[in-house]
Amino acid sequence: MEFNEEPKSSNKTTQQQHKKPFTLKRWNLIATWAWDVECDTCAICRVHLMEACLRCQSESKAQECVVIWGECNHCFHLCERFF
């Protein structure tokens, strides 16, 4: 007998034991993520790291906004390069 094969017994009690209590018809998965840092706000522009910095928001470049880590282990938007 292979691993995926069901037993060949056609006994009703055996079939009742293997009957599933419910059938899953649809499953909607939802996932979230976040930066694993102590402070979740940019130390320069004071905007949450999950959002784009003020410069990227004003220029409609939210997809291009990057988060970087400094040597001090703080997180910044790429707006740090302008200071």
* pLDDT tens track for 30-65: 998 776 777 788 888 888 888 888 888 888 877 888
Cα-Cα end-to-end distance for the chain: 71
Q: How confident is the model at residue 16 (pLDDT cuts 50, 70, 90)?
A: low
Q: Is residue 57 part of a domain?
A: yes
- Kindly state whether residue 11 falls inside one of the protein's structural domains: no
Its pTM stands at 0.48
Question: Which domain range does residue 59 map to?
Answer: 38-83
31 within domain boundaries: no
Residue 42 domain flag? yes
Q: How many domains does the chain have?
A: 1
Distance CA 62, CA 50 (A): 10
> Is residue 52 included in any domain, yes or no?
yes
Residue 78 included in any domain:
yes
Q: Is the pLDDT of residue 74 over 60?
A: yes
Predicted confidence band of residue 28 (pLDDT cuts 50, 70, 90):
very high
Burial of 39-48, coded b for 16+ CB within 10 Å and e otherwise, reads eeebeebebe
Average of per-residue pLDDT across 14-28: 80
Is residue 72 domain-resident?
yes
The residue type of 57 is Q
